[in-house]
Amino acid sequence: MRKIIIDTDTGSDDAVAIVMALRDPNVEVVALTTVAGNVDLEKATKNALISIDYAESYSPPVYAGSKKPMIRELETASQVHGEDGMGDLGTLREPKDRAEEKHAVNAIIDILKNSDKGEIELITIGPLTNIALALIKDSVSMNRLKGITIMGGAHPYNNPHSVSSEFNIMADPDAAYIVFNSGIPITLVTLEACQGDAVLNADDIEHMRKLGEIGSFCIDCNMTAIKAAEDSGKEPFIELPDPIAYAVWARPDIVTVSFKSFTRIERKSPLVYGATLFEYEKDFMIEAHVDKSKTFNSKVVTSIDSEKFKSFLFELVKK
């Protein structure tokens, strides 16, 4: 059985990814660690605990981590996830359990210290603050990871916060810089892979509700995004970047387009900080431009088989 730590800034699509992981019979979630991002740390931690309850599976320990980015001020994403991060429903059950006392950074390091090298994998579906701080504190233990799957990054892209950057990387680009220079194998699942046919349309949303309480929870906690689509005159839809990142890790066969890259993170420009700059093999391996200091640091996923993803999602949330 594969073992993972999920690091999350638990908003609505994070919640769906957590439910999927906890209901996947081939996976053990060793711990959930939380970080400020979509919402503040307190809400992210509470939402992780709520997601565990609604998954109706087992309860891994939850460790709260960083309250803010390493250097910058915290920007949240309430316009996407709601003020509470879970669609502002006001009807979700209070969590049964509480977070552990240990800080997430220390928890990650301790788990890896007490595991075999390559036994644990990491999935990050929020800003990379906790991971960067753990690398600074104990890079030897962190390099016991088999790999990191990151939901983040994009080709030139506009979001409500910044030009040409995706939220998870933009929220703490200094942390992302440290992680991408860690030497740990990285799979980066970009926004491109999470759009188009991979979006849940009105029929998919109705189907999820028919699957039972768990499927309905996964839809309801995304109501802020659904209402935003309806208010703009569109059919209801939901983008699920974090569940897609989980699916890429769990079922690599859903990947249809990917490439190896030397990925850099822009940290200075106020216009494009957090942008992911992808250099392909052809960009730095041709004879005229050989730069021996460069090497691949990531596999970048830009497209998936949407039908395989949706089938996987539906099967896991079916009660």
| Contact assessment for residue 112 and residue 141, using Cβ atoms and an 8 Å cutoff | yes
Distance CA 215, CA 207 (A): 8
Is residue 13 flagged as an active site residue?
no
Pairing of strands 120-125, 62-64: unpaired
Distance CA 134, CA 80 (A): 29
38-52 burial, b if ≥16 CB within 10 A, otherwise e?
Answer: bbebebbbbbbbbbb
Question: 3-state DSSP: the chain helix, strand, coil percent, rounded to 5?
Answer: 40, 20, 40
Please name which of 112, 147, 120, 104 lies closest in space to residue 10, comparing C-alpha atoms: 104
Distance CA 242, CA 18 (A): 9
Of 9, 14, 204, 220, the active-site residue reads: 9
Residue 159 phi, psi dihedral angles, 5° rounding: -125, 175
Structure-token pair, residue 271: 């216009």
Q: CA-based Rg of the chain, rounded to a whole angstrom?
A: 18
Catalytic residues: 9
